[in-house]
């Protein structure tokens, strides 16, 4: 709706350029620890990444945190030790998560201990992915879409990543079945390229699209949902931005998610 307001206003009123770069007055905060951990249901090198925040004005190079001790345990009594691999700050262990199992993370880094746990939900598979055409003020617009059948007997939370020609879309795609339980779903994922070029947000013939789908638990849904409400919307619009609530203790930023994983690809016709 908000986007529509802006669109209509621009359409109706703004004859000259209505966007400009400004300088804002903000502090550069001290570095904070960021932990991003995922355990999925594929037999792969599962990754726990530890990094730090940088100040707002700094160049986008995020410092990695090496030398941490990282352990994941599950409620079946298994312990997995994660070792720092060839990439600094990325801790790996080749293993396969199982739906229904609760995984717990224990990280000790720079003298602080961080813990979190997450239960891997049941698998819901995509039926297919495809491209939808919409008309909006005379423009045909193609969007990527996921088709899936939501199970009626449980509460489901989904998270998606969209790649177009191997470029990750800069949006957080997240859904729950609060209003759509048990239905055949068609979820449209609007592409946002990392560049500022707003014309390149359309899909064109022969673009390769790839969609990753994860079934996530409710805490992780809240995490992505909070980010999705903020991304693309700066201050003074919608929700006042805040750090998403993390399921990791000790004020760490980031999340620890045990989730399923599935990937499908297609080519735009």
Partner 1 sequence: MPIKHYLALFLLLFSSTVLFAQNKFTLSGTIRDAGTGETLIGATVKISGTPTVATLTNNYGYFALTQPEGTYTVTVSYTGYASIIKTINLTKDTKLNEELKSANDLAEVTVSANNRKNENVKSAQMGLEKIDMKLLNSIPVLLGEKDILKTIQLLPGVKSGGEGNTGFYVRGGAADQNLIILDEAVVYNSSHLLGFFSTFNADAIKDVSLYKGGMPAQYGGRLSSVLDVKMDDGNNKEFKFQGGIGLIASRLKAEGPIVKDKGSFMVSFRRTYIDLFLRSSPDSSVNGSTLNFYDINAKANYKINDRNTIYISGYFGKDNIGVKDLFENNWGNVTTTIRLNHIFSDRLFSNTSLIYNNYNYTVRLLNDATNFKATSLVRDFNFKEDFQYFSNKHTLRFGLNATQHRISPIDIDSDEASQVNSLTQERRYGIESAAYISDEWAVNDHLNFLYGVRLAAFSLMGPGNFSTYDANGDIVSTANVAKGKFYKNYLNLEPRFSVSYLFNEQNSIKASYNRNTQNVHILTNATSSSPTDQYVLSSNNIKPEIADQVALGYFKNIEDNNYELSGEIYYKWLQNQIDYKNAAELLANSNVESELLYGVGRAYGMELFFKKKFGKLNGWVGYTLSRTERKFTELNNGKYFPARQDRTHDVSVVGIYNMTKRWTFSSSFIYSTGNAVTYPAGKYSIGGQMAYYYTQRNAGRMPYNMRLDVSATLEGKPGRKYQSSWNFGIYNLLARKNPYSIEFITDPNDPTKTAAQQTSLFGLIPSVTWNFKF
Q: From CA 68, how far away is CA 252, in angstroms rounded? A: 14
Name which position in 71, 161, 200, 249 contacts partner 1 (CB under 8 A). Answer: 161
Give, as ranges, the residues between 207 and 266 that touch partner 1 (CB under 8 A): 222-227, 229-245, 253-255
Q: From CA 177, how far away is CA 152, in angstroms rounded? A: 9
Name which position in 42, 47, 62, 99 contacts partner 1 (CB under 8 A). Answer: 62
Task: Give the interface segment with partner 1, choosing from 39-47, 77-85, 102-110, 175-183 (CB under 8 A).
Answer: 175-183
What the block records as the tokens of 223 is 């995490």
Q: Which is nearer to partner 1, 205 or 242 (CB)?
A: 242
The residues near 37 (Cβ < 8 Å, ≥ 6 apart) are: 47, 48, 49, 72, 105, 107, 116, 254, 255, 256, 257
Q: Which is nearer to partner 1, 82 or 225 (CB)?
A: 225
CB 142 within 8 A of CB 201: no
Rounded to 5°, the CA angle 178-213-197 comes to 100
Task: Give the interface segment with partner 1, choosing from 12-20, 72-80, 98-106, 107-115 (CB under 8 A).
Answer: 12-20
Q: Which is nearer to partner 1, 74 or 260 (CB)?
A: 260
> x/- contact string, 14-43, with partner 1 (CB under 8 A)?
xxx-xxxxxxxxxxxx-xx-x-x-------
Give, as ranges, the residues between 87 and 116 that touch partner 1 (CB under 8 A): none
Q: Which is nearer to partner 1, 74 or 225 (CB)?
A: 225
Q: Which is nearer to partner 1, 65 or 203 (CB)?
A: 65
Nearest to 115 by CA among 254, 261, 247, 268: 247
Nearest to 191 by CA among 165, 156, 213: 165
CA 33 to each of CA 113, 191, 194: distance values in angstroms, whole numbers, following the listed order: 11, 30, 25
Name which position in 76, 111, 179, 205 contacts partner 1 (CB under 8 A). Answer: 179
């Amino acid at each position: 709706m908000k986007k529509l307001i802006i669109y209509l206003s621009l359409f109706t009123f703004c004859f000259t350029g209505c966007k400009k770069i400004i300088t804002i007055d903000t502090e550069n905060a001290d570095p904070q620890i960021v932990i991003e951990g995922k355990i999925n249901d594929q037999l792969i090198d599962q990754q726990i990444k530890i990094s730090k925040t940088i100040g707002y004005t700094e160049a986008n190079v995020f410092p990695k945190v090496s030398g941490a001790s990282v352990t994941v345990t599950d409620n079946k009594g298994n312990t997995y030790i994660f070792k720092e691999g060839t990439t600094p700050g990325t801790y790996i262990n080749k293993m396969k998560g199982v739906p229904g199992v609760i995984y717990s993370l224990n990280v000790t880094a720079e003298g602080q201990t961080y813990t979190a746990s997450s239960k891997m939900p049941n698998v819901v598979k995509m039926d297919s992915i495809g491209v939808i055409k919409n008309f909006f003020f005379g423009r045909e617009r193609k969007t990527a879409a996921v088709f899936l059948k939501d199970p009626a007997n449980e509460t489901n939370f989904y998270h998606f990543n969209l790649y177009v020609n191997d470029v990750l879309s800069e949006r957080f795609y997240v859904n729950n079945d609060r209003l759509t339980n048990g239905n055949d779903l068609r979820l449209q994922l609007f592409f946002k390229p990392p560049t500022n070029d707003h014309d390149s947000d359309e899909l064109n013939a022969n673009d390769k699209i790839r969609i990753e789908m994860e079934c996530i638990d409710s805490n992780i849904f809240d995490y992505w949902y909070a980010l999705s409400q903020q991304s693309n919307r700066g201050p003074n619009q919608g929700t006042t931005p805040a750090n998403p609530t993390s399921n990791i203790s000790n004020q760490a930023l980031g999340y620890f998610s045990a989730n399923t994983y599935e990937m499908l690809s297609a080519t735009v016709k």
